[in-house]
Amino acid sequence: MIYKRVIPCLLLDEDSLVKTKNFAKPNYIGDPMNAVRIFNDKEVDELIILDINCTRNRREPNYGLLKDIVSEAFMPIAYGGGIRNLEQIKKIVNLGIEKIILNNHVLKDVKLIQDAADFLGSSSVVVAIDIKKSMFGGYKIYDHVTRKTSSKNVFDHINEVIEKGAGELFINSVDNDGIMSGYDLHFLEQVLKITNVPVIVSGGAGNYEDLAKALSAGASGAAAGSIFVYVGKHNAVMINYPEFNVLKNLKKDYGLQ
Amino acid sequence: MTTILDYGMGNVGSVRNMIKRMNFDCIISSSRADIEASDKLIIPGVGSFDSAVVKLQDLGMYEIIQKKAQDPGAYILGICLGMQLLFNNSEEGVLPGLGLINGAVRKFNEKEINRRIPHIGWNYVKEDPRSRLFAGCEEAQRFYFVHSYYATTEDPDCIKCVSNYGIDFVSAVEKNNVLGVQFHPEKSHRYGKALLKNFLEL
């Protein structure tokens, strides 16, 4: 039987690995290659790599770094950051990255999802949606380029991107990012209710139990940054990932496989 | 010589990376001469069935691959969509597959399996002890899958491995020198390395 994924989410800023809080205050973690090598040795289920300032700074994806990463990483890798056309997608996939993550560009132009799905197949096209709680309750899409919430209804957007061919959703909570107090499971449940594609949840995991809670709530993957790059009360930087059997037993405790 | 067929359907890079890491030689090519000269041919693939068929046909690969399948000294390994292409046809498209293994590729039925589609993630395998790809492999292996379609065959002898996603489905086939895996060995850590090594040493 399939088992659910626990996914380190690495944030790149140019050539550096960073970790944010609430999508701000990037803290320098170290050399991305070092982290990738450790995660490869620890046989992680999957890696998500996001170049967080690529779109805002109008840069091309860092193809050189991505090429180095895939030569050391023998697990599935999803990459997001700065993707706005099919040519870039072809280039990224040719390096050996099998999943691409679309986010900011498809807030304005959902057609790229369709083009990507026609080329890659839906299963390799992930759409990321960053969400922020509104002051009046409810959820808004957060646009990390303008640093404002979008006027587009988040659930309409989700329906639209799936209709265009998104094979997987990656939902990330701006409010919970780096806070380590648990995922926004309420939002996750709302998304699961209206979708039938796999959903990866991100933002807020503070311990392994949080991962299991999200998976048990119905997420197909639980992604996290802080818990895999920090250890201890004072958040000392140390790349880490649980042993396979630790995760297996924890999932069992939550009635998962 | 081992050749990874580059027909514009993605993912050649990661297969090469893993083969090189194991200190085997390989080339990535779409040239007919290279494919004809290879004793190991790997057909990777990510994407839709018909677009893959069109690209293979445009490159004139159908005849070459079908001829290679008749050559007892050569081995073919299809990965993911590359495995599905070994069959006669697919519900994903209308064009004919390579027809090297009798059977059809079907779409997972969401209601029947009661699971989210695509099937994305790590899954276990139940391998046939006679399988050449899984020879000498360790217990409780796991592999990474990304697919919405699965192969079916009326030729049970060629089924060398099954996995379960709501229903049991064929996750590896071997028929003489034509082999295929539905999962991605190149993305499956040491389990994938062991399997690719078995293929490269055939």
Tokens for A110, please give them. Answer: 């959902």
For the segment A11-23, what is each residue's pLDDT rounded down to a tens digit? Answer: 999 899 999 999 9
pLDDT at B72: 94
Q: In percent, how much of chain B has pLDDT > 90? A: 89
pLDDT at A122: 87
A58 contact partners, CB below 8 Å, separation of at least 6: none
Does B57 score more than 60 pLDDT?
yes
B119 contact partners, CB below 8 Å, separation of at least 6: A2, B108, B145, B146, B147, B148, B165
Return mean pLDDT, chain B. 95
Q: List chain A residues with CB under 8 Å of B114.
A: none
Q: Stretch A194-203: mean pLDDT, rounded?
A: 96
Quote helix, strand, coil % in chain A, to nearest 5. 35, 25, 40
Size of interface A-B (CB pairs under 8 A): 116
A114 touches B: beta carbon within 8 Å: no
pLDDT at B9: 80
Q: List chain A residues with CB under 8 Å of B48.
A: 118, 121
Reported confidence tier of residue A1, pLDDT bands at 50, 70, 90: low
Return mean pLDDT, chain A. 95
pLDDT at B10: 67
- C-alpha closest to that of B192 among B15, B24, B3: B15
> What is the DSSP code string of chain B?
-EEEE-SSSS-HHHHHHHHHHTT---EEE--HHHHHH-SEEEE---S-HHHHHHHHHHTTHHHHHHHHHT-TT-EEEEETHHHHTTSSEETT-SS----SSS-EEEE--HHHHTS-SSEEEEEE-EE-TT-STTTTPPSS-EEEEEESEEEE-S-GGGEEEEEEESEEEEEEEEETTEEEESS-GGGSHHHHHHHHHHHHT-
Reported confidence tier of residue A2, pLDDT bands at 50, 70, 90: low
* Count of CB atoms situated within 10 Å of the CB of A33: 16
* CB spacing of A75 vs B189 below 8 angstroms: yes
For the segment A123-142, what is each residue's pLDDT rounded down to a tens digit? Answer: 899 999 999 999 888 999 99
For the segment B64-97, what is each residue's pLDDT rounded down to a tens digit? Answer: 999 999 999 999 999 999 999 999 999 999 999 9
For the segment A222-249, what is each residue's pLDDT rounded down to a tens digit? Answer: 999 999 999 998 999 999 999 999 999 9
pLDDT at B139: 81
For the segment B132-183, what is each residue's pLDDT rounded down to a tens digit? Answer: 999 998 888 999 999 999 999 999 999 999 999 999 999 999 999 999 999 9
User: Where do the structural domains in chain B lie, given as residue ranges?
Assistant: 2-200
The residue of chain B nearest to residue A75, with distances taken between CA atoms, is B187
A250 touches B: beta carbon within 8 Å: no
* CB spacing of A167 vs B118 below 8 angstroms: yes
Catalytic one of A13, A130, A184, A210:
A130
B22 touches A: beta carbon within 8 Å: no
Does B126 score more than 80 pLDDT?
yes
CATH class of A5-253: alpha beta
Q: Which fold has domain B2-200?
A: Rossmann fold (3.40.50)
pLDDT at B112: 94
Whether A177 is a known active-site residue: answer no
